[in-house]
Amino acid sequence: MSTPKVTVLMPVYNSRPFVHAAVESILHQSFTDYEFIIIEDASTDGSAEIIRSFKDHRIRLITHEQNQGLIPCLNQGIQQAHGQYLARMDSDDISLPRRLELQANYLDAHTSIGIVGTQVEVIDENGLPFPRKKTPAPFPVSTGMVSWMMLFRCSLAHPSVMLRRSVFEKIGLYDTTFLHAEDYELWLRALQNSIKIGNLPQSLLCYRWHPANISQRHRATQKENAARALARTLSHMLNQNVPYQAAYNLQNRGNVFTPGEVLQSARLLGSLYQLLARWDVSQNEKKQIRQNAILRILPLLFRWTLHTPGTALQITRTCWNIGIKATFWGMCELWLRQFAKIPRYIAPRHFL
Q: Per-domain residue ranges for the chain?
A: 6-217, 253-351
Q: Please name the helix (run of DSSP H) or strand (run of DSSP E) that holds residue 207, with its range, or none.
A: strand 196-208
pLDDT for the residue 313:
61
3-class DSSP state for residue 2? Answer: coil
Average pLDDT estimate for 57-71: 97
Whole-structure pTM value = 0.87
How would you list the strands of the sheet with 196-208, edge to edge? 59-63, 34-40, 6-12, 85-88, 162-164, 113-123, 196-208, 94-95
Q: Could you write out the DSSP letters of every residue in 64-86?
A: -SS---HHHHHHHHHHH---SEE
| Residues 7, 13, 16, 17, CA torsion sign | negative
CA distances, 16 to each of 21, 183, 302 (Å) = 10, 24, 49
pLDDT tens-digit map of 216-273:
678 889 999 999 999 999 999 999 999 999 999 888 876 656 767 777 787 788 788 7
Whether 168 and 78 have beta carbons less than 8 Å apart is answered as yes
Cβ 279 vs Cβ 237: under 8 Å: no
CB neighbours (10 Å) of residue 314? 17
Q: Three-class SS of residue 166?
A: helix
C-beta separation of 9 from 77 below 8 A: yes
CA 288 to chain centre: 18
Find the range with the poorest average confidence among 55-64, 133-142, 152-161, 293-302: 293-302
* Residue 142: exposure state from Cβ atoms within 10 A (0-12, 13-18, ≥19): middle
With residue 8 as reference, give the H or E element that holds it: strand 6-12
Q: How far, in whole angstroms, is CA 312 from its chain's centroid? A: 31
What tens digit of pLDDT does each residue of 118-128 get?
A: 999 999 888 89
Is residue 2 exposed (0-12), middle (13-18) or buried (19+ Cβ within 10 Å)? Answer: exposed
Q: What CATH number does the domain located at 6-217 have?
A: 3.90.550.10
Mean pLDDT of the chain: 85
